Amino acid sequence: MNFSITGLCAHAAHLWHTHPHGRWTILGILTGVIAGLGASAFFVLIEAASVLILRMGAGFDLPGAAGEELFHVPVGPWRPWVVPVALVAVAGLTAFLVRRFLHGMPPGGTDGTDTLIHTFHHREGRLDLRIPLVRVTTAILTIAAGGSAGREGPMSLLGAGCASWLADRLGLSAKERRLLLLVGAAGGLGAIFRAPLGGALTAVEVLYREDFEARALVPSILSSVTAYSVFAVFFGTEPIFQVPDLMFTTMAELPLYAVLGLVCAGAGMGYVHFFRWAKTRIFGSVARRFGPGASMALGAVAMGLLAMAFPALAGGGYGYLQQAIQGRLDIVVLALLALGKTLATTMVLGSGLSGGMFAPALLVGGMVGGVVGRVAQDVAPALVAHPEAYVLVGMAAFFAGIARAPVGPLVMVCELTRGYGLLVPLMLASAVSLAACRRTFLYDHQVDDKFASPAHADETVINVLERLQVADSLTLRPVASLHEGAGFREMTDLMVHSTDQVFPVLGDDGHVHGAVTLHDVRSVLFEDVLCPLVVARDIVRPCPTLTPDDDLSSALLRFVESDLPQLPVVDPESGRIVGLLDRGDVFRAYARGIARLRGDVPA
């Protein structure tokens, strides 16, 4: 087989211009390559900085996850004071960079993922590249200095930022830019977590509380697989965690997993409410009074003191999650880590420092699952052979509930375990947690569904109105019309005694020849010489007509083109006028149609 770069480029160009699916295949792969390279650089930088500050500088000998120990260097002397000093320095740098480069930018919300969600819904997918570059840089330093935050949020934001930049270079439309934004986020998440399918699914479902972005799924999978492949070239294909062979074997254990879902929901609600309370009441008040830099400094000091007292709370914490998965932590340590990580993550992200919520949420969920697994084994030892399985199920159920993302975390755990042995309990616990957390959500900028998103406003209006006809909104009543020879006095008398704003002008054949409005009459009202001479045909304006069978989408376009508040409706056979359709009738029909689609009113 002959292979040449020129031929490949020519084939790609042909696909780009002739096949929409081929175009998105190219975009998915290209975005995946960029995200994979970005994830590789991000991973090396954060591991190197963590070793330099935490291991060598502070002397923290923290465990690492099986797939994350990139550098092996001796532990430095015990200097725990390095952590608060480093975090305060990072807080100062973050405040400076945000003020210097992100001043006037839209609020980021909870973390990088929330920024991505806001960009998709409200900014047409246009993400200023300065936002991910600043946030990723400061996230690397925050986590490396001991801040309790995750790397997945910043990495998905970096992938999204690169995708948005690429969309601008290629001149893509707003709709295409939004999709490519998700494609980039999926690549970043799939690569850094080493779970390509789970990363793609999470990227398309985290936008909504009760929906997902189906159009972005296939290119997101392509991007995520490509990014994961690029990442694997440098770091291998081993998953982050080394997971024992865990299988679900007895249906009698399912009620215990349902209980786990409820416990994860309760813990998740506490996690979110505490985070929001501290962010608003403590750090928010400090930021309003003394500026964002003071809030970040307060969070840095609090996190630094926590890390000095409890080194296990420093950094991302995946090493302790690895130990929990392997059953090496007792129930007291599991419970303390769940509570401590909730507090530490709130200090970091609630104060405005950079990082992601994904990893801390997985860790807290895993620890909660570990506690439930140990208790369940004590209560029913015959049923619970592997309490470690509850750690993995807890990870998915906890995040699914608070992030309103039921499928992505579930698939991620399956990818971590390299099988579907825990699929049934994962599905049950995630569903229970999702249902119980219905009114709790982690991300500020999530919307309920596509109907609530500006990204789908155009297609929602068209789809709803196309299903409705003019006859559905038309009230049959006598129409105040004018003959084209009607004099000025007849016109004014008719308008004074009518509530209409548009008056169809009819010819001798009874067909509509145009219309006269109040504005048209007002334009000659004070012309004493002209008034007695003016007849309707002199001031008539063009006026499109509708038929009862026309759909309301077409009617809305004619309202826009004519700029008239009412349009005459005529019989399609005789051409005789049968009524007037008001522009407000179209909007009311749209509102009713949306309510029916949402289930707010009976169909």
Q: Considering the domain boundaries, does residue 262 fall inside one?
A: yes
- pLDDT of the residue at 106: 59
What angle, rounded to 10 degrees, do the helices at 130-144 and 112-122 form? Answer: 170
Q: Is residue 400 domain-shared with residue 537, that is, in the same domain?
A: no
- pLDDT of the residue at 494: 86
Q: Is residue 492 domain-shared with residue 374, that is, in the same domain?
A: no
- pLDDT of the residue at 13: 57
CB 450 within 8 A of CB 208: yes
Among residues 235, 262, 289, the one where a domain terminates is 235
Q: What is the CATH number of the domain that holds 569?
A: 3.10.580.10
Q: Is residue 35 domain-shared with residue 134, that is, in the same domain?
A: yes
Q: Is residue 36 domain-shared with residue 178, that is, in the same domain?
A: yes
Query: Which of the four pLDDT bands, split at 50, 70 and 90, describes residue 387?
Result: very high
Which of 16-30, 145-159, 566-580 has the lowest average pLDDT? 16-30
**Is residue 583 helix, strand or coil?**
helix
Q: Considering the domain boundaries, does residue 243 fall inside one?
A: no
Burial class of 265 by CB neighbour count within 10 A (0 to 12, 13 to 18, 19+): buried
- pLDDT of the residue at 66: 79
CB 179 within 8 A of CB 344: no
Question: pLDDT tens digits, residue range 179-203?
Answer: 999 999 999 999 998 999 999 999 9
Strands 482-483, 502-506: pairing is: parallel
Q: Is residue 224 domain-shared with residue 279, that is, in the same domain?
A: no
The Cα–Cα gap between 520 and 542 comes to 12
Q: Is residue 209 domain-shared with residue 280, that is, in the same domain?
A: no
Q: Considering the domain boundaries, does residue 454 fall inside one?
A: no
The Cα–Cα gap between 193 and 411 comes to 12
Residue 12 has pLDDT above 60, yes or no: no
Backbone angles phi, psi at 444, to 5 degrees: -60, -35
CB 202 within 8 A of CB 67: no
Query: Which of the four pLDDT bands, split at 50, 70 and 90, describes residue 1?
Result: very low
Q: Considering the domain boundaries, does residue 245 fall inside one?
A: no
Tell which residue, 159, 158, 161, 139, has the closest CA to residue 149.
139
Q: Is residue 262 domain-shared with residue 123, that is, in the same domain?
A: no
Q: Is residue 381 domain-shared with residue 410, that is, in the same domain?
A: yes
Q: Is residue 319 domain-shared with residue 394, that is, in the same domain?
A: yes
Question: pLDDT tens digits, residue range 263-310?
Answer: 999 999 999 999 999 999 999 999 999 999 999 999 999 999 999 999
Higher pLDDT, 473 or 158: 158
- pLDDT of the residue at 247: 85
Q: What angle do CA 513, 523, 570 make, to 5 degrees?
A: 20
Question: pLDDT tens digits, residue range 297-343?
Answer: 999 999 999 999 999 999 989 999 999 999 999 999 999 999 999 99
Residue 10 has pLDDT above 80, yes or no: no
Burial 113-127 (b: 16+ CB within 10 A, else e): bbbbbbbbbebbbeb
Higher pLDDT, 329 or 603: 329
Q: Is residue 507 domain-shared with residue 578, that is, in the same domain?
A: yes
CB 183 within 8 A of CB 31: yes
The Cα–Cα gap between 293 and 296 comes to 5
Q: Calculate the average pLDDT of the chain.
A: 89
Strands (DSSP E) found in 489-603:
502-506, 512-517, 566-570, 577-582
Query: Which of the four pLDDT bands, split at 50, 70 and 90, describes residue 107?
Result: low
Residue 385 has pLDDT above 80, yes or no: yes
- pLDDT of the residue at 101: 87
- pLDDT of the residue at 19: 60
The alpha-carbon radius of gyration of the chain (Å, integer) is 31
Q: Considering the domain boundaries, does residue 143 fall inside one?
A: yes
Residue 59: both structure tokens together: 């002397």
Residue 515 has pLDDT above 60, yes or no: yes
Q: Domain range holding 477?
A: 460-598
Query: Which of the four pLDDT bands, split at 50, 70 and 90, describes residue 479?
Result: confident
Count of domains for the chain: 3
Q: Considering the domain boundaries, does residue 556 fall inside one?
A: yes
Residue 459 has pLDDT above 90, yes or no: no
Tell which residue, 368, 390, 359, has the closest CA to residue 377.
390
Task: Give mean pLDDT, residues 393-397.
Answer: 96
- pLDDT of the residue at 43: 95
Residue 86 has pLDDT above 80, yes or no: yes
Residue 534 has pLDDT above 50, yes or no: yes
Q: Considering the domain boundaries, does residue 2 fall inside one?
A: no
Burial 137-163 (b: 16+ CB within 10 A, else e): bbbbbbbbbbbbbbbbbbbbbbbbbbb
Backbone angles phi, psi at 487, to 5 degrees: -80, 175
Q: Considering the domain boundaries, does residue 421 fall inside one?
A: yes
Q: Is residue 124 domain-shared with residue 204, that is, in the same domain?
A: yes
- pLDDT of the residue at 466: 83
Q: Is residue 476 domain-shared with residue 587, that is, in the same domain?
A: yes
Among residues 442, 470, 501, the one where a domain terminates is 442
The Cα–Cα gap between 153 and 39 comes to 12
Tell which residue, 70, 76, 26, 36, has the closest CA to residue 53.
76
- pLDDT of the residue at 603: 46
CB 397 within 8 A of CB 381: no
The Cα–Cα gap between 404 and 390 comes to 20
Q: What is the CATH number of the domain that holds 33?
A: 1.10.3080.10
Among residues 194, 210, 235, the one where a domain terminates is 235
Q: What angle do CA 285, 138, 216 make, to 5 degrees?
A: 95
